[in-house]
Chains A and B, each alone.
Chain A
């Protein structure tokens, strides 16, 4: 068989990249093995050799990952569509600022992003962890070995191991185009999903994956601690890492929520979607681990649970990877990755990181020191441990619900007829349980602050404890009552939750003042716990009182169930609509790149008629990469300190939303041609047959003026264009409204373009047919000029007109200071202008005409001018230098030219949007609170790190 010799392929980056994928994979394995022996044989002479091999292997592994990523960027940047990954994720029209997003849009790219962070973290660990290097790096290299296998792309028999991101398209697909040797030049890419073309997609994944990757460090320290038995030291060195991880992972999750709230159309920040839950669960367990870690460091209690929490955290990271990437979630999630056919490999990956750490724990857990005496009930360590259990409990409940598809799958294995279960109302289901978690965490994070570690004698402390608790409780009750008025909390469960949230804020503030006395050591914990309380307040305020502005009382026709909220209203352009105290006006729209922005003005008036709020939001409709169809509607939000007003376009008129629909609808319009002279009033009738009656309407059209260099909202003028417009007025007989319309026809490079005008209120569409242009040019070609030789100041008589040549001068090409609309200046033009005035019956005609004699490139061009009202045409065709006489040609035509126009009735309106607006009160409590939680963790991380370095 003849092999095709392909041309135009770039094989080198693929060869390099595929090589480094394998090299990186092997190097990670080698690093894991070498570090393993470096630790196992640490008392022997070989240990140092093993350590060096391990270190160099990991460095080479890291470099290989970088080169692989570099090769992928190279083929994507140069749009080498012969590579499957480039073809799938970039396209000719994709802006380069989205190349990062395109890189991690696919599973392979996001695996590499994850590995990238493990490389960076690993290199830092090699530098800083000294005696911990070998036992910590061995498990980390093992993790890289597993992730690396996901992009390997080799087959062992029938089993596919990984998906290689640098395969050629012709190796993964069989397309007819591959029969052509130069196919590579013919391909175009699919590009990036338009929904992902925003800055969130640039910043959210790297942050979240750094969060994911950073959980591996406490995990590896936990393995190392169990392995070496150096539990106390492990607790010291790993604490900053755990705090760092919780902070970054938290920020990553938070960004996801902010993206959902701000850029996507879900109308909220958290939907308890399985993919969201999957990253929340490890964070909750990690935070539980940080609490027991602090207890363990300070008191020696809870060391075992700290180990378990860190091991579980990483397991749940892998489990979330399994859930989101294996396709098992099916239609229960709106944003899982697309499937890759690697389910079994992911399953092995997941099970390994369940069984391996548990095995290490059960084999080595005996060496963990345990204090025989139980924690005192009045001690901080006891209640912190309870708090950690509550967090674990929360994680367990979320996991149980999120894992329902896994449960279904297992049942199906045994009983193929089994019908899977689904949660009926995901949000209500989770809220119902997590509400109680919130109550417990709020109470514990408040009350526990007043307790002391290793409480020697609680009875001495009891009075102080109860006083502060009591006062904080009373203040919180008062505030709960006040807040309850504002956000209208009714159900007692929510009132209780609100109380605990406020209680958490008040107690922590009191603790800062009365106990910590501004001690920075405790600031991180206080910031985080105050943040938690504020978050609870924000969730309640925005969730319970979310209110639709966009409910129109007139559409409530009892057609549907009463409990159904009317969320959408229709807004007509420039027609203010009043709803729920706001006057909302859709002002205008503009197309920028692929986004059509809609300016929507909100005004809120006080009782005295004064404007209390006045703002404009700009939600957008985002078109697909080919600009043919709306791909998504993006909301816009007006932020206030106490509330957000969230606005979103739900639907556009079909004609606006879909080019094909527009064409279909336009084609079905019944245009008729009518001819009118300027100044005349023409009319036409239209009949509309409905179910029970026939409507006949008559429209009057007055042509006012022929406009050269006409403008139109959709027309973008260029030099040398000939754009003719016909200004007219249209009125439906018997109605007072008169509408202006100026349809335009454009001649550009011998192509004709029509710019029609839609009069929405009359459902009429008007355009100028191409015969219109013929009509204008015909009249000019057939002009019967009479030649006059004139001097400056001279007057002649023509057809009863007195025509005077007032002046001759040159047109300044920069300012183009002429009334002759047919002239467009160009560089190097010499344009002589004849200023001519006309008198009719002794009275001056108001318009001055300026025919131009143009020399352009040594060629003479007369540019005519016209006195439209009289049908007089003037041509300036020569200058005689010797005599000083100008040749002026004059002709008169019939002013009553019949201009053809095309009119269609029943044209669908295009001047409206279907729109939704929601008020989220108190949402800033949520953002402030969550950001404070993460900042508190970050603060603690920095402080604990400094503490660690100082102690060394």
Chain B
């Protein structure tokens, strides 16, 4: 057997090993229920509850945002994010959070927003009729 083949096989072996052990880094999206079961940070998808309080008072603490989110199971929880409030937060269609449950609240360290793409919407702008 050639050395190259040997090295190739070792690499394939490592690749298979890495892919199989990457299982802990790859998971389905969690929900609040499954987040309660684990100490590890999880990713949760949900939507913002728009009629409940969104608290962000930069005068008090520019690194504190709290709001309510509903996960895919329909469970609603208060979320606390240790960062500022992103631009267009209220317009978000869905939210992906990374964090842990603590008590009744979800403490998020990362938040990704999916916003409706404003610039390709069906609404066509007309020039104002006056003048």
Q: A residues touching B (Cβ–Cβ < 8 Å)?
A: 87-88, 91-92, 169, 173, 175, 177, 185-193, 331, 334, 338, 374-375, 377, 382, 385-386, 389, 393, 396-397, 400-401, 404, 419-425, 428-429, 433, 555, 557, 559-561, 563-570, 630-633, 650-651, 653, 657, 909, 912, 914, 916
Contact = CB atoms under 8 A, between A and B. Distances in A.
Nearest to B93: A331
A559 B8 contact: no
A386 B84 contact: no
B19 A914 contact: no
Contact of A632 (B87, B120, B127): B87
Contacts of B114: 331
A397 B15 contact: yes
Interface in B108-131: 109, 112, 114, 117-120, 122, 124-127
B120 A88 contact: yes
A334 B62 CA distance: 25
A403 to B, nearest CB: 11
A155 B46 CA distance: 38
Given A87-B124, A188-B125, A420-B28, A559 B87 contact: no
B52 interface: no
23 contacts: A88-B120, A173-B122, A175-B124, A186-B126, A189-B125, A190-B125, A191-B119, A192-B119, A331-B96, A338-B120, A397-B15, A422-B28, A424-B42, A425-B98, A555-B61, A555-B63, A564-B107, A567-B83, A568-B62, A570-B59, A632-B87, A651-B85, A912-B58
Given A429-B22, A560-B80, 8 more contacts: A169-B124, A331-B114, A382-B4, A421-B27, A422-B28, A422-B29, A567-B83, A633-B87
Contacts of B3: 374, 377, 382
A439 to B, nearest CB: 13
Minimum-distance CB pairs A-B, first 4: A564-B82, A650-B84, A568-B62, A560-B82
Interface centre among B58, B83, B120 (most CB of A within 10 A): B58
Given A88-B120, A187-B125, A338-B120, A393 B15 contact: yes
B74 to A, nearest CB: 16
A912 to B, nearest CB: 7
Interface string B35-79: 000000111010000000000101101111000000000000000
Contacts of A91: 125
Size class of the B contact interface (CB-based, 8 Å): 35 or more
Interface of B: 2-4, 7-8, 11, 15, 18-19, 22, 25-29, 41-43, 45, 56, 58-59, 61-64, 80, 82-85, 87, 94, 96, 98, 100, 102, 107, 109, 112, 114, 117-120, 122, 124-127
A191 B118 CA distance: 11
Specify the main secondary structure of chain A where it touches its partner: mixed
B24 to A, nearest CB: 8
B125 A423 contact: no
A560 B87 contact: no
Contacts of B8: 389
Given A331-B96, A560-B107, A569 B62 contact: yes
Contacts of A566: 63, 82
Contacts of B84: 567-568, 650-651, 914, 916
A382 to B, nearest CB: 8
Given A188-B127, A424-B42, A914 B62 contact: yes
Contact of B4 (A385, A632, A916): A385
A568 B83 contact: yes
A331 B96 CA distance: 9
B2 A914 contact: no
Contacts of B7: 386, 389
A375 B5 CA distance: 12
A396 B15 contact: yes
A169 B126 CA distance: 13
A657 B114 CA distance: 21
Contact of A568 (B19, B63, B100): B63
B interface, by DSSP: helix, strand, loop or mixed? mixed
Contacts of A177: 124, 126
B82 A561 contact: yes
Contact of A423 (B26, B62, B85): B26
A428 B61 CA distance: 29
A909 B4 CA distance: 70
A567 B8 CA distance: 45
A420 B127 CA distance: 44
A726 B62 CA distance: 36
B62 A650 contact: yes
Contacts of B43: 422, 424
A807 B123 CA distance: 68
A915 to B, nearest CB: 8
Given A188-B126, A389-B7, A389-B11, A570 B58 contact: yes
Centre residue among B26, B112, B114 by max chain A CB count within 10 A: B26
B85 to A, nearest CB: 6
Contacts of B107: 560-561, 564
A589 B43 CA distance: 39
Contacts of B63: 555, 560, 564, 566-568
Contact of B27 (A191, A422, A570, A632): A422
B18 A193 contact: no
Contacts of A425: 25, 41, 98
A570 B2 CA distance: 64
Contacts of A650: 62, 84
A122 to B, nearest CB: 32
A423 B110 CA distance: 14
A299 B120 CA distance: 55
A650 B84 CA distance: 7
Contacts of B120: 88, 190, 338
Contacts of B58: 570, 651, 653, 912, 914
A433 B18 contact: yes
Contacts of A396: 15
Given A377-B3, A421-B28, A633-B87, A559 B127 contact: no
B26 A404 contact: yes
B17 to A, nearest CB: 11
B54 to A, nearest CB: 12
Contacts of A382: 3-4
Nearest to B84: A650
A421 B22 CA distance: 12
A909 B22 CA distance: 50
A173 B4 contact: no
A422 B97 CA distance: 12
A740 to B, nearest CB: 24
Contacts of B11: 389, 393
A424 B41 contact: yes
A188 B124 CA distance: 7
Nearest to A915: B62
A188 B129 CA distance: 12
